[in-house]
A and B are shown apart, each in its own frame.
Chain A
Amino acid sequence: MNSNQDNSEAKLSDQLQRLLIGIEASGRAVLPGSNDALLNSIVEAAARIFGAAAASILLVNEEEQMLEFKVAYGPSDRNLVGTKFPLDRGIAGYVAMTGQPIATSNVGQDARFNQEFAKSTGYVPDSILATPLLSEDRIIGVMEVLDKIDATSFGMQDMELLGMFAQQAAIAIDLSQQMENIEKALTRGLRRLVTADSSQDSTELLSILENPQSSKGTVRDLLELADLFNEISALGDAERKACLQVLKVFAEYRRSTRRLR
């Protein structure tokens, strides 16, 4: 190995290290902390705009089939974050299951209504407006505002406006998850590069790269897809083009079976 090559590899290694530290640092600094802050501000803004006493975002926990409070604003905000309840319970659960936004009122007047859950949160609302959070076409959670202060119930306009808030919240949640995925894919690719280079002492880089892999199916599948593609492209130009062609045809077929727009 000549000194020129040595030099350029040292440079690359240096750049990699800085990039990785950058990724990790941005990951730690920006996510999930500021994402929660963003969601908190969305929820608080919603509560204020709708004149509601409380507002919250609940996310679907697919593994446990539960809804979990992600952020909450209002009288019982401290207790609620992290609280879980089954999907077949309450208005929020129904909205998550059906994707249909609903508003109800006179809830608190009927002592039987979801008493168990209301007791557990220490807060029994009088009126509720709940709308689904959609990421792409999947329901990832529910956003709800509780107890309209100057009226007995939430109206249709409230429902439509909350839908827009929910879109913002879903984008925020989505972005944070995508960032996480990108970070993981990058670190994985870089780890590969580092371990393939035996001429350098890469223990420091490797230690930076030691991040737990996501157990989520989509991330795993995407990474596997990236790996396969990488493997095939390594075989040669023709193979890479063939692989690309197959994927393109499949994507085109999927697009054509959807709607025209």
Chain B
Amino acid sequence: MPEELVRPAWSQQFAPEAIKELMANGPLASLTPEWAWGGSTGKGIKVAVVDSGVEYDHPALEKSVRSGVKVEYDERAENNYRIKPDDKPSDMSGHGTACAGIIHSIAPEAEIYSVRVLGRNMSGRAIQFAAGLDWAIENDMQVVNLSLSTSLEEYYGLFHDLADQAYFKNIVLVSAVNNIPEPSYPSLYSSVISVAAHEGHDPFTYYYNPTPPVEFGAPGIDVKVAWNKKQYLTCTGNSFAAPHIAGIVSLIRAKHPNLTPFQIKTVLLACASNTRRQKK
């Protein structure tokens, strides 16, 4: 255990003095942010926000919320959950609205779908979360923002399987890593784009970390976000870093629809703010 206690938390890898400069060589050196997402608005890209729900009429979202579902815990149902349509979704905490707001601010023409997986009951949260992710995969979302995770060991396999299904269906999962030195799923799987917070505020400044599991650092400290009941709050957490990357991925997907999840990760690496492009 002592080894666990001294292990640095993920976001320390994105502290200004810790960021390592990387090199993009050969054909990768020709990938620029301008090529990757310049001029893109994320038009037509379906983005699922798996969270506490998204307040569909929050002014910050400017009618970008298309519809949604609610995953409810129900002990009598098969697999203990039920999925109900939620055409005018609301948000039980504000967190999901915050994530959707960040995505919308980066990719204003992306279509947001609210997948509410939290309710009053704690015991069902991991299965609700898994069911919500499954819904997003089955319903052909192109980007899924997961600013939540589970540490339950018994869900390791199920979430791993869902992450693989998403990968093979060409769906990009963007997941916030937990800031405590404990495993959290699905953020630590290799097919997922895992994100921690860095101190900057420019939405397009993000870093690649060459020593995974956490691969990307995006703004997540003192971010002004939309909150439920038409509010705004200033928030800090990896939860708010992930939707920045989800927004950028939506831009890339709209501009380059043929790219697969691993190609998108490569583009993200090549265009990261700490990557230097070597000229020939």
Contact = CB atoms under 8 A, between A and B. Distances in A.
B67 interface: no
A103 B149 contact: no
Nearest to B95: A94
Interface in B124-161: 125, 147-153, 156-157
A101 B178 contact: yes
A101 B234 CA distance: 14
Contact of A94 (B93, B184, B229, B236): B93
A233 interface: no
A166 B9 CA distance: 14
A100 B148 contact: yes
Nearest to A153: B222
A121 to B, nearest CB: 18
Interface residues of A, number: 44
Contacts of A42: none
A156 B238 CA distance: 9
Nearest to B129: A98
Nearest to B94: A94
B211 to A, nearest CB: 16
Interface stretch (B81-89, B113-121, B264-272): B113-121
Contacts of A156: 11, 179, 197, 199, 220-221, 236
Given A99-B178, A156-B11, A156-B199, A113 B150 contact: no
Contacts of B231: 110, 112-113
Interface stretch (A133-141, A174-182, A201-209): A133-141
B263 interface: no
Given A153-B234, A155-B236, A97 B5 contact: no
Given A100-B239, A110-B233, A163 B123 contact: no
A104 B118 contact: no
A106 B237 contact: no
Given A159-B237, A164-B5, A99 B151 contact: yes
A105 B92 CA distance: 19
Nearest to A130: B237
Given A102-B236, A113-B231, A257-B157, A97 B122 contact: yes
Contacts of A154: 236
Interface string B171-193: 00000101111111000000000
Contacts, number: 132
B118 to A, nearest CB: 5
B275 interface: no
Interface in A31-65: 60, 62, 65
Nearest to A105: B234
B25 to A, nearest CB: 32
Contacts of A88: 92-93, 118-120
B235 A103 contact: yes
A129 B180 CA distance: 14
Given A86-B120, A156-B199, A160-B9, A132 B234 contact: no
B187 to A, nearest CB: 10
A98 B179 contact: no
B7 to A, nearest CB: 11
B12 interface: yes
Interface string A104-116: 1111001011000
A259 B159 CA distance: 14
Most chain A CB neighbours (cut-off 10 Å) among B153, B180, B227, B233 = B180
Contacts of B220: 156
A87 interface: yes
B64 interface: no
Interface in B224-260: 227, 229, 231-239
Contacts of A112: 229, 231
A22 B263 CA distance: 65
A119 interface: no
Most chain B CB neighbours (cut-off 10 Å) among A60, A96, A154, A160 = A160
B52 interface: yes
Interface of A: 60, 62, 65, 86-88, 90, 93-94, 96-107, 110, 112-113, 129, 131-132, 134, 137-139, 153-156, 159-160, 163-164, 166-167, 257-259
Given A101-B179, A129-B236, A257-B157, 6 more contacts: A100-B237, A101-B237, A132-B180, A156-B236, A163-B180, A258-B153
9 contacts: A90-B93, A98-B118, A99-B150, A99-B184, A105-B234, A139-B122, A153-B222, A159-B236, A159-B237
